[in-house]
Amino acid sequence: MSALTATASLTADDRCDGCGAQAYVRVRLATGGELLFCGHHWGRHSDALLPQAVEVVDETDRITETPAVAEA
């Protein structure tokens, strides 16, 4: 069974392994591997990966966030 956690936040530098878009989901597998997904590819592969996952960091709620503007 996987654990959904809020640890190890993803940044704009983290890219989807499927298409290179910004990653919003990190999956750590029982075999020791790690995969990163955009929202689209996570939706496509989540059913197959959840049984193999030991940790899932799902930050897809951030997809619709408006980024903060830096003060000049």
Q: What is the pLDDT of residue 8?
A: 64
- Tens digit of each residue's pLDDT, the chain (72 residues): 345 544 568 999 999 999 999 999 999 999 999 999 999 999 999 999 999 999 999 999 988 877 777 776
Q: What is the pLDDT of residue 71?
A: 76
Q: 3-state class of 22 per DSSP?
A: strand
Instruction: Report strand pairing: 34-37 vs 25-29.
Output: antiparallel
Contact 57, 25 (CB under 8 A): yes
